[in-house]
Amino acid sequence: MKKIMIMIIVALGFMGTGCQDITVGYLLTEDASYEIDSLVIKSVLDTRPPVEIPNPEFQRYLDYGWDAESIISILGVFPTIKEGGGADYDRDFYGIPWTSTPIEGVQGTEPIFASIKTVTSDVGDVGKILEFLTVRGDGTLSIPTRHEIPVGRYKISLTFANEGYSKDVDDCFTIIVK
- pLDDT tens sequence across 139-156: 999 999 999 999 999 999
Instruction: Assign 15 to helix, strand or coil.
Output: helix
Q: What is the mean pLDDT of residues 89-95?
A: 92
Give pLDDT tens digits for 38-80: 999 999 999 999 999 999 999 999 999 999 999 999 999 999 9
Q: What is the mean pLDDT of residues 79-94?
A: 90
Contact 138, 114 (CB under 8 A): yes
**Which of 18-27, 109-118, 132-141 bottoms out in mean pLDDT, i.e. has the lowest?**
18-27
- The whole-number pLDDT of residue 14 equals 64
Q: What is the mean pLDDT of residues 91-111?
A: 94
Choose among 177, 87, 88, 97: nearest CA to 145: 97
Choose among 27, 34, 92, 81: nearest CA to 59: 81
Q: What are the start-end ranges of the H helices in 19-146?
A: 56-63, 68-70, 89-94, 126-132
Strand partners, 22: none
- The whole-number pLDDT of residue 113 equals 95
Contact 159, 106 (CB under 8 A): no
- The whole-number pLDDT of residue 124 equals 86
